[in-house]
Amino acid sequence: MLVFSLLAASASAAIVKVQAGTYLSQSAVTSITPTLPDASTSGNMLVGIVATAANTTVTAPAGWVKATSIFTSGVGTTQIWYDANNAGGISSVKFTLAASDNAVAQLSEWSGVAITTPLNGSGTATATTNSTTLVVSATAAAANELGIASFGASTGSTGNTFTPASGWTNLMPAHSVSDTADYDSGVGSGSVSETETAATSAKWAGAIATFYGSCGGGSLSLASPATAAFGSLTLNGTNQSVTTNLAFTPTDSTASSHGWNLTGTSTTFTNSGGKTLPTTATTVTAASVAATSGTCRLPTNSITYPVTLPAASTAPTAVKLYDAAAATGLGASTVTLTAKISVPPNSRAGSYSSTWTFSLVSGP
Between CA 128 and CA 147, with CA 205 as vertex, the angle to 5 degrees is 145
Sequence spans of domains, the chain? 16-211, 217-362
Separation CA 5–CA 223 (nearest Å)? 7
Separation CA 61–CA 32 (nearest Å)? 12
- DSSP secondary structure string for all residues of 273-304: TS-B--TT-EEEEEEEEEEEEEEEE-------
DSSP helix/strand/coil, 158:
helix
Separation CA 110–CA 64 (nearest Å)? 15
Separation CA 72–CA 94 (nearest Å)? 24
Separation CA 271–CA 301 (nearest Å)? 35
- Fill in the amino acid letter for 241: S
Among 2.30.30, 2.60.40, 1.20.120, 3.40.50, name the CATH number for the domain at 217-362.
2.60.40
| Non-local CB neighbours of 347 within 8 Å, separated by 6+ positions | 235, 275, 277
DSSP helix/strand/coil, 200:
strand
| In contact, 114 and 297? CB cutoff 8 Å | yes
DSSP helix/strand/coil, 140:
strand
Tallying the residues shown for the chain, one arrives at 364
**Would you write out the chain's pLDDT as a tens digit for each of its 364 residues?**
443 333 333 344 689 999 999 999 999 999 999 999 999 999 999 999 999 999 999 999 999 999 999 999 999 999 999 999 999 999 999 999 999 999 999 999 999 998 888 999 999 999 999 999 999 999 988 877 999 999 999 987 778 899 999 999 999 887 778 999 999 998 877 899 999 999 999 999 999 999 998 887 789 999 999 998 898 989 999 999 999 999 999 999 888 889 999 999 999 999 999 999 999 999 999 999 998 888 888 999 999 999 999 999 999 999 999 999 998 999 999 999 999 999 999 999 999 999 999 999 998 7
What residue spans of 126-278 are helical by DSSP H? none
Separation CA 84–CA 115 (nearest Å)? 6
Instruction: Give the closest residue to 262 by CA, choosing from 233, 229, 221, 298.
Output: 221
Separation CA 57–CA 201 (nearest Å)? 27
Find how far residue 318's CA is from the centre of its chain. Answer: 29
Between CA 38 and CA 46, with CA 43 as vertex, the angle to 5 degrees is 55
Q: Which helix (H) or strand (E) holds 206?
A: strand 190-211
Q: What is the pLDDT of residue 12?
A: 47
Q: What is the pLDDT of residue 142?
A: 80
Q: What is the pLDDT of residue 2?
A: 42
Per DSSP, 257 falls in state: -
